[in-house]
Amino acid sequence: MGFQTEKQVVRDYYAELDRAEGAEIAKVMQGYCAPDYLWRGFHPFNEQTSAQAVAEGFWQPLRASLTRMQRRMDIFFAGKNEMDGFQSTWVVSMGHLMGLFDQDWLGIPPTGKMAFLRYCEFNRVEHGKITETAMYFDIPHLMTQAGVNPFPPQTAAHVLQPGPMTHDGLLYDDQPEAQGTATLASINAMISDLGTWQLGLLLEEELARSWNDDMIWWGPAGIGATYTIERYAKQHSGPFRAAFTDRSKTNHICRLAEGHFGGFFGWPNFTAIHSGGFMGMPASDKRGEMRVIDIYRREGEKLSENWIFIDLLHFWKGLGVDILTRNTQLSPPR
């Protein structure tokens, strides 16, 4: 089962989109996207229902801020979506959008220096058109690059995040179907173990069922990345579970795999009540939404790397803390 047609649509789209300037961006998007296009992006962009709205509201301002932008992809794959019975085909891209931060964006002050916006994008392709997109991006990481630190000290470390250790994440060619099946099975086994955090095992024992011991969890700014099962349990998974109660079931819109790579996204993935302590924030009796993309690399029968995108701005805003407005208003004068 190959996905060359769908992959080529997205590759051609990126080539034209990345060359376009100003109003040309909307023309490119209208050429590649369906009339009933649905785009989901992190706060403050949220859902948009036309290519024109995405071009004018997201891409044009971003490109005006990050000038001479380059798309630096680390992972690219495609597959059938398990969540609709393997009917639809999606193409996934992950990496950084790099440019010179020359004008403010969302109130974040420019630096005049190189800046990197982590992104991951799922594109549904039907009959040669992109009909649906989930594009998630790490705005808090861009804020920290501009000297605006929006969160208390994180439990793990956040640096510029590399692609796969194996340097083989760009799956432009067809992959053996059995490899994608095995990767999806590994992801599903991990999700099954995760459940509602009630498997009954010690945390490190639970994690060892699905993860290789030298795993790397590449978390977003505000949480950070962590290495090995033992440190992941201490630096993220344990504190995260301790900070939430009444976690809902997982709710994915898309889940797929190709070769040794796979991933999913939800809108939201799950909800939970923040009982206190997550990211140094006070408790709330409100239910918060976690919009998440997870991308995985499998090695052997288990998972070895995981890149995570969480809409922390949306999550905290839902609990009454507007991180973006608060921190950009307090940013140093330019």
Domain boundaries, the chain: 4-145, 177-326
Report the DSSP beta bridge partners of residue 80.
89
Instruction: Classify domain 4-145 by CATH architecture.
Output: Roll (3.10)
Q: What share of the chain in percent tops pLDDT 70?
A: 96
Q: How far apart are CA 293 and CA 253, in angstroms?
A: 10
How large is the average pLDDT for residues 38-51?
Answer: 98
Fold of the CATH domain 177-326: Nuclear Transport Factor 2; Chain: A, (3.10.450)
CA distances in angstroms from 31 to 134, 199, 296, 307, 322, listed in the order given: 18, 48, 31, 31, 36
Q: Which residue type sits at 178?
A: A
pLDDT of the residue at 331: 45
Q: What share of the chain in percent tops pLDDT 90?
A: 84
What one-character DSSP code corresponds to residue 91?
A: E
Higher pLDDT, 111 or 334: 111
**Which residue, among 16, 57, 46, has the nearest Cα to 33 in the 3D structure?**
16
How large is the average pLDDT for residues 270-287?
Answer: 90
pLDDT in tens, 195-226: 655 667 899 999 999 999 999 999 999 999 99
How large is the average pLDDT for residues 183-193?
Answer: 95
User: Residues 6 or more apart from 254 whose CB is under 8 A from it?
Assistant: 81, 83, 88, 90, 122, 124, 134, 264, 265
To 5 degrees, how large is the angle CA 241–CA 207–CA 268? 50
How large is the average pLDDT for residues 274-301?
Answer: 93
Q: Is 334 exposed, middle or buried (0-12, 13-18, 19+ CB in 10 A)?
A: exposed
pLDDT in tens, 63-107: 999 999 999 999 999 999 999 999 999 999 999 999 999 999 999
How large is the average pLDDT for residues 35-44?
Answer: 98
pLDDT bracket for residue 329 (50, 70, 90): low
Q: How far apart are CA 215 and CA 213, in angstroms?
A: 5
Are 63 and 21 in contact by the 8 Å Cβ rule? The answer is: yes
Q: Is a pLDDT exceeding 90 seen at residue 280?
A: no
Are 27 and 19 in contact by the 8 Å Cβ rule? The answer is: no
CA distances in angstroms from 273 to 235, 237, 244, 245, 290, listed in the order given: 20, 16, 6, 5, 11
pLDDT of the residue at 199: 66
pLDDT of the residue at 332: 43
Q: How far apart are CA 85 and CA 269, in angstroms?
A: 18
| Whether the domain at 4-145 and the domain at 177-326 fall into the same CATH topology | yes
Which of 25-34, 143-152, 195-204, 209-218 shows the lowest mean pLDDT across its residues? 195-204
Q: Is a pLDDT exceeding 90 seen at residue 31?
A: yes
pTM score, whole prediction: 0.95
pLDDT of the residue at 208: 96
pLDDT of the residue at 156: 75
pLDDT of the residue at 200: 73
pLDDT of the residue at 281: 87
CA distances in angstroms from 327 to 147, 155, 312, listed in the order given: 11, 20, 14
How large is the average pLDDT for residues 133-158?
Answer: 89
pLDDT of the residue at 196: 53
